[in-house]
Structure formats: C-alpha cells, structure tokens
Amino acid sequence: MTAIVISVALLLFAARLRMLRRVWRLPLKNGQSFFLAHEVGPDFYRSAGAPLFRRYHVSVLVPVLLDGPLAAWLFLTKRYVDLELEQVLALVVSILAYNLMLAHFSSLAASLSLEPGKPQTTRLRLSMALRRLRDYTTPAIEWVIGGATLLALAMLGRCYALSLTANANHFSFAAVRGGKVLTVWVLYWQLGFLLLKILFIRRRMPLPAKRTEDFRRWRMAWLTHKLRIFDAVRLFCALSMLLGMTWITYGRGWPRMGQVILLGLSALALLLYLVYVAREERRLAATEKELKPVEMVKEFPRFPVAEGRYFAGGLLYFNRDNPWVVVRSVKGVALNLAHSTTHIAAAYLTGLVILAISMARLAR
C-alpha cells in the first residue's frame, strides 16, 4: 500500500513537471515573432520583451520552488499519505496559477507590442447562443458513472455493516476507513469536474468582428475538447472508485490470479484514459493547424482598464457590475472578487484543503 501511495505522489509530481515544461515553452510556441498569442516586433526578445521573458520564466518556476521543500520534508519524514494529498493540492493550485500567469503576461505583451499610430481593432461581438448542460451530456457516460458510483457505495455500506458485527476484526475497520477516504475523495473530484463543465458551458463567448465563423468554429472545437476531457476524468474517477472499493472489500481474500486480474483492469482503465486524452489532443491540434487561431487574436480589440476597486497591487479587483472573471488592470490582469465564478472556485478550493487535511487524519 505504501508503494502505491508513493507511486501516485511521484506521478502527480511528474505531471506538474510536464505541465511546467509545456508552460515554459509557450511564449515561443508560434515562433520568434510571437509572445504567447500576441504578434511582436523582430527585436522584441532583445529589447523591451527581454525582461518580460525573464520574469515569465521566473514566475512559472515559483509553484514548484515553493512546493519543493515541503514535499521533500514529507517524503523524508515518511508521511507518504500527506505527501500524496499535498501533491494533489499543489497540482490544482499550479493549474490555476499558470492560467492566471498566462493571462497576465499575455496582457503585458500586448501592451509592449502595440505600435504607435497603428490602428487598433475596436469592434467585438458576443455570442448570444444559449448553451445548456443537457446539450453536452452523453447519457451512456452518465449511466456508467452513476452505476459505478452506486455499486461502490453499496460495497462501502457492506464494509460498514460487517464492521458492526460480532466477527468484526482489524481488517473490517481498516476497510471502512479506506473506503471512506476513497469514496469521499473521488466524489469531491466528481463534483469539481462537473462544476467545471457547467462553468465552461455557460461561459459567454467573445467573437472578433472579422473571421467570426472561423473563430466560432475554433472555440467550439476547443470547448468540445475540454468537455470531453472533463467527462473522461469523471468516468475514470467513477471506475477507479469501483475498482478500488472492489479491492478493499473483496480483493485481499481472492486468490492471486483474481488479484492480478483486478490490478490488470485498473491498469487497462488508466491506459484507455491516457490514449483517449492523447487522441483528443491530436484532434484539437489538427483543428488549430487548419484554422490558425493565433492569426485571429489580432482581430480582438484591446480591452480598456476595468473601472472599480483594486487590491494587492492591482492583482485583485472588485466590481459586481463587471461580467468578466479576469479583467485588464494597469499592471496586467486582475481577478474579479465579486464574480460568482470566483466565489465558487474559492469555496471549492477551501473545501478541498479541508478535505485533504481530514483525509490525512483519517488515513492514519
């Protein structure tokens, strides 16, 4: 069991390093004439863009550098469950931080790359198409998720019932404890990805005045990609909970061949998930290659600095009347604290931290 916990923690850390590697390369993804998605001059990286480029690389290293000493301490003190949960939290925080960093440095690059006297795009369209959750719901996937979840909960109920009998032993109590950790943790992730799916579906879609249909097609391909990944994660979580509860409830009493088959099914589920994600990424890359969305970014107007109250040096913003979660500020971008999406994200992250602490205590 300890080996599995350490392996999961290492996989999570490897995923963060892979994400760091990808984010590190993003400014030059489209060549030397671009910084992220913004077209820049030929001397940008040798003049005004050089300090920005360095600041970007220093910033993307911060999440890993801040987390490193704590992760090393947890590993050296053999608090492996705490290390696993800490890496989960670090992964979530890193994803949020990198997305805000990309928006921030993209805004700064746009300011530096503006040419004096060059006419700027001033028109913007906003898609009014109503998108509903049921229009992006696949019944077969939801039935599998629901069925796997109910079976896992039934197994947890059986473990709990056995722990109350006169024949209850250490294994019965350990099974209940492990089942609670697994079930609560997975269900919370299910809730998180369902919330993400709803937020992405209801998000308003800004469109450029020119090449509107091409950009709409690109954004729909991007949205479809994200929603499919969210559903894949939810499905993988549900099947993992079912296989995990099967192991906790029955696996230790099975012959070795049965245990090997169950572990093989778990490995197969992970492999199928990774293959599916890779295929969806290739699909999105093919659409990106065809439509070249980086060429459409220039058709968007430069948003003005948002009016309202700023905090934390311009990184935080408060205005209930502003419909955007992230707005342009004097120093880049700011997070709108008055937006409902910010409230939902803050509540979910707070719950995630509390849950991680509770699960760590329960696992001991």
Query: What total of structural domains would you count in the chain?
Result: 3
- 335 & 270 share domain: no
Consecutive H or E run containing 328 = strand 326-329
CB atoms < 10 A from the CB of 118, how many?
A: 6
Residue 27 and residue 38: Cα distance in Å, rounded?
Answer: 9
C-alpha dihedral (65, 70, 75, 78), degrees to nearest 10: 180
- In a domain? residue 342: yes
Distances in whole angstroms, Cα of residue 279 to Cα of each of 207, 233, 311: 27, 14, 42
- 293 & 307 share domain: no
How is residue 160 written in tokens?
A: 């709990």
- In a domain? residue 364: no
- In a domain? residue 359: no
Last residue of a domain, one of 62, 93, 120: 120
CA angle, 213 then 98 then 305, to 5°: 65
How far apart, in Å, do the first and last CA atoms of the chain sit? 13
- In a domain? residue 52: yes
CA 147 to chain centre: 25
- In a domain? residue 125: no
Consecutive H or E run containing 165 = none
- 184 & 324 share domain: no
Domain limits for position 32: 1-120
- In a domain? residue 141: yes
- 80 & 165 share domain: no
- 149 & 6 share domain: no
Last residue of a domain, one of 88, 120, 152: 120
- In a domain? residue 363: no
- 98 & 151 share domain: no
- In a domain? residue 19: yes
Last residue of a domain, one of 77, 95, 120: 120
- 143 & 285 share domain: yes
Residue 199 and residue 114: Cα distance in Å, rounded?
Answer: 32
- Residue 124: phi, psi to the nearest 5? -145, 140
**Per-residue pLDDT tens for 283-326?**
998 988 888 877 777 766 667 788 888 888 788 889 888 888 88
- 223 & 143 share domain: yes
- 295 & 153 share domain: yes
- 53 & 147 share domain: no
- 218 & 114 share domain: no
- 199 & 233 share domain: yes
**Per-residue pLDDT tens for 12-27?**
888 899 999 999 999 8
* Digitized pLDDT (tens) for each residue of the chain, 364 residues in all: 577 778 888 888 888 999 999 999 998 888 888 888 787 877 888 887 889 899 999 999 999 898 888 888 988 888 888 888 888 889 899 998 998 898 888 888 877 765 544 445 445 555 556 678 888 899 999 999 999 999 999 988 888 887 777 666 656 666 777 788 888 888 999 999 999 999 888 887 777 777 778 888 888 898 999 999 999 999 999 998 898 888 888 766 777 787 788 788 888 888 998 899 999 999 998 988 888 877 777 766 667 788 888 888 788 889 888 888 888 888 888 889 988 889 999 999 999 989 888 877 766 6
Q: Are 200 and 226 in contact (CB under 8 A)?
A: yes
| Residues contacting 144, CB < 8 A, separation 6+ | 235, 238, 239
| Number of residues that make up the chain | 364
Q: What angle, rounded to 10 degrees, do the helices at 170-202 and 139-163 form?
A: 160
Q: pTM (2 decimals)? A: 0.83
3-state secondary structure of 209: coil
**Residue 279: per-residue pLDDT:** 94
